[in-house]
Structure formats: C-alpha cells, structure tokens
C-alpha cells in the first residue's frame, strides 16, 4: 500500500486537530496530521489553562504534550513544520502537496488550521505575550484579580470584554485610536455606565516595557503627538481575529466575509469529504473546549464518510 495514502489527513495539530487524530486513530483509521508549526497550536502560547475541565492549572505546553502523545499512541503520524505547496480538495482523492515534493492523499480531509488574534505589532508585544499581554479575557481574566489593566480596541469585543474584565480587575482603561467607538450602542452604554472603566481616546500604544512580566506601556496621543508612559499590570488586545485560511483563499472551499470556513452542523464544508474544526471555522466561541468538541465531531463524521 502507498505509504503516502491515508484514510484521513488532518491539517493543523492544535486541540481540534489532535482530538480529531485521537478519535480517528482509535478507530484504526490511518491518519496523518500535518502542521505548519509545532503541534499544540495556540495552546502552546498559553502560560496557564484554568478552564479545561478535569485538569487544574495545567500549562498550555503540558496539555499539548499530553494530547500529542495520546494521538501518537493511537497510531497517528504527525509531521511538524511542513511547508504547503498545494491543496487539491475536489474529487474523490484529496491531495496535499508539500514544498519538498511529498504528496499525501486521502478520501477525507479535516481542516483544523486555527487562527490568531490580530496583533498591534509594536516593540515588546511578542516578548510579553502571555506575560502580561493577553488576547483572551475568558482565558486570562482571572489572573488579574484587583489589578489595573488596559483593554485596547473600540469594537464590540473590546467593550464587552472590558466590562467582563471589571469582574476581576480593580480598574480597566480602554485605549482606543479614535474619538468614538465602533461598537453597538448598548455595548457603549454598558461600558460607560461601569464605574471601574476609564478611557484613553485617540491614542496608540507604541511600546510595551517590563522585566519578567509587563510593567508599563508607552503610548502616543494622536491629537497632540505627545508620548506618555503608564504603569500597568496587564493589557488585553481586541483589535480583530484572523482565521488561518490563507491556503484556501480563492479556492473551492467556501469561506465567509472574514475568511472563516463555512460548515454545516456536521462540520462538513461545501466539498464532500472535507470537514473543518476549531478556530478556523465560522463560529462564535473560540476555546480549547470548543476546538476539542469540533475535532470530535469532524472526526466522527469523517469516519462515517470514509466507511460509506
Ligand atoms: C494567548 C492565548 C491564551 C489562550 N488561553 C486559553 C485558555 O486559557 N483556555 C481556552 O480554552 N482557550 C484559550 N485560548 C484559545 C485556544 O487556545 C484556541 O481556541 C484553541 O487553541 C483553538 O484550537 P484549534 O485547534 O482550532 O487551533 P490552533 O490552536 O490555532 O491550532 C491550529 C494549528 O494549525 C497549524 N496550522 C496553521 N495553518 C496551517 C496550515 N495551512 N496547514 C497545516 N497546519 C496549519 C498551526 O501551526 C497550529 O498548530 C487562548 C488563546 C491564546 C492566543
């Protein structure tokens, strides 16, 4: 049998892809997981995970390692740091071609390529990501009990998450580049009615500073051009989200206006035999638990599909 032919190919080895691998491998489906980075996905960026049921305060790296080990123990083959050359997803046998010339085929593919928060791209942001800078209030809010934090952004997510963060933080300052918000009126009103929320309008963060952890930001007033510094315990950035679907742009898989993969409730895309799971698909809540759930559903439906 062709060693490059599989029952299912999973693109992406985050929690969605690894869970799909666990279910597929355990059902004896010959499964290949391909990842452009390291398996674990965004979990690896997470210093501490406190909301994954059944484990208390595990690091993202540890949780990734256990999931990866589990997938391998059921026979999945995982290839990391691959470079995609072409995806051929129409037709009965789907093909994934890599830049090194390898071509893998399977009758079913699960797209689990995840996503990433938009970054400000200013000095110090990469360094303090996970050490004071967060992109997820649900994930990290409770690490900032009675602390002073900044929320960057002026859309619905920024305002809603700022209000949610007042449950933990002593003070939340919303820092936004314009003199008005681009959020729904009710979100603006709720934020404005919250006594713990303060504002820095028409400003940009220009640098994050600290030692082991974030300690302060430098920001520029866009009206006066003046630069200021502010001591701070944490910064939450909500300036948008991007699904990792660049490889699908202009292709046959249906994407919505935000380039997220459109699926039905079985997590099937518009192409037969092509499923999508986790943060790369169009959905509202993006968490490890929801990715794991998606991975399960996509794997079971892919198994059904190949058995038929
Ligand atoms: C800083 C941070 C903290 C977080 N904290 C928590 C938390 O505490 N609790 C919680 O529940 N959630 C948390 N989240 C959210 C959670 O990590 C994500 O919702 C979850 O990881 C999504 O899983 P996924 O498998 O869909 O995608 P991802 O985790 O994004 O994994 C996708 C994988 O696909 C790979 N990939 C990308 N493109 C391709 C391609 N073309 N081909 C092959 N592979 C590709 C990537 O390298 C990656 O490994 C956090 C997120 C961040 C950024």
pLDDT digits (tens, 9 = 90+) for 108-150: 999 999 999 899 999 999 999 999 999 988 889 999 999 999 9
**Ligand 1 centroid to residue 178 C-alpha, Å:** 30
Output 208-213 pairs: Cβ under 8 A, ≥24 positions apart: 208/122, 208/123, 208/124, 208/125, 208/127, 208/128, 208/132, 208/133, 208/235, 209/124, 210/124, 210/128, 210/131, 210/132, 212/131, 213/128, 213/131, 213/132
Mean pLDDT to the nearest integer, 33-55? 89
Mean pLDDT to the nearest integer, 13-18? 98
**Ligand 1 centroid to residue 115 C-alpha, Å:** 6
SS3 126: helix
287-41-34-62 Cα dihedral, nearest 10 degrees: -100
- Residue 288 in this model has a pLDDT that exceeds 90: yes
| Max intra-chain CA distance, the chain | 69
- Residue 46 in this model has a pLDDT that exceeds 80: no
Mean pLDDT to the nearest integer, 224-247? 95
- Residue 294 in this model has a pLDDT that exceeds 70: yes
| pLDDT tens track for 194-230 | 999 999 999 999 999 999 999 999 999 999 999 999 9
| pLDDT tens track for 68-104 | 999 999 999 999 999 999 999 999 999 999 999 999 9
Q: Confirm if 135 and 128 have CB atoms less than 8 A apart.
A: no
What does the pLDDT read at residue 141? 92
The average confidence (pLDDT) of the chain is 95
Q: What percent of the residues of the chain are helix, what percent strand, and what percent coil, each to the nearest 5?
A: 30, 30, 45
Query: Is the minimum distance from the CB of 141 to ligand 1 under 6 angstroms?
Result: no
Joined together, the tokens standing for residue 153 give 């952004």
Rg of the chain over all Cα atoms, to the nearest angstrom:
21
| pLDDT tens track for 146-193 | 999 999 999 988 998 999 999 999 999 999 999 999 888 999 999 999
Taking the CA of residue 277 as reference, the ligand 1 atom at the shortest distance is 26
Joined together, the tokens standing for residue 80 give 């990391």
Mean pLDDT to the nearest integer, 6-10? 98
In sign, the C-alpha dihedral spanning 166, 170, 176, 180 is: positive
Query: Is the minimum distance from the CB of 286 to ligand 1 under 6 angstroms?
Result: yes
Joined together, the tokens standing for residue 113 give 């390529």
In testing the pocket of ligand 1, which one of 9, 10, 44, 46 has its CB within 8 Å of the most ligand atoms? 46
What does the pLDDT read at residue 62? 94
Mean pLDDT to the nearest integer, 38-55? 86
What does the pLDDT read at residue 1? 61
CA distances from 75 to 63, 109, 188, 284, 295 (A): 19, 17, 51, 32, 17
């Amino acid at each position: 049998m062709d060693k490059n032919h599989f029952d299912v190919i999973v693109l992406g080895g985050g929690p969605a892809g690894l869970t799909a691998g666990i279910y597929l491998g355990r059902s004896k489906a010959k499964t290949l997981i391909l990842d452009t980075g390291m398996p674990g996905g965004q979990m690896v960026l997470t210093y501490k995970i406190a909301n994954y049921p059944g484990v208390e305060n595990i690091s993202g790296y540890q949780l990734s390692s256990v999931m990866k080990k589990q997938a391998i123990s059921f026979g999945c083959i995982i290839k990391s740091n691959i470079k995609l050359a072409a995806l051929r997803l129409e037709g009965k046998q789907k093909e994934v071609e890599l830049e090194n010339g390898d071509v893998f085929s399977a009758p079913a593919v699960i797209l689990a390529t995840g996503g990433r928060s938009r970054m400000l791209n200013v000095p110090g942001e990469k360094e303090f990501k996970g050490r004071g800078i967060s992109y997820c209030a649900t994930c990290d809010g409770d690490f900032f009990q009675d602390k002073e934090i900044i929320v960057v952004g002026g859309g619905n997510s920024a305002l809603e998450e700022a209000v949610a963060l007042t449950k933990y933080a002593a003070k939340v300052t919303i820092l936004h580049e314009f003199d008005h918000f681009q959020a729904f009126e009710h979100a603006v009103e709720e934020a404005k009615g919250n006594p713990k929320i303060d504002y820095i309008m028409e400003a940009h963060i220009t640098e994050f500073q600290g030692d082991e952890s974030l300690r302060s930001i430098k920001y520029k007033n866009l009206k006066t051009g003046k630069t200021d510094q502010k001591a701070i315990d944490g910064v939450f950035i909500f300036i948008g989200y991007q699904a990792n679907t660049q490889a699908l742009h202009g292709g046959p898989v249906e994407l919505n206006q935000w380039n997220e993969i459109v699926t039905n409730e079985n997590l099937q895309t518009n192409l037969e035999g092509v499923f999508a799971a986790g943060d790369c698909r169009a959905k509202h809540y993006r968490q490890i638990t929801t990715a794991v759930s998606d991975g399960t559903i996509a794997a079971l439906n892919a198994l059904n599909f190949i058995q038929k």
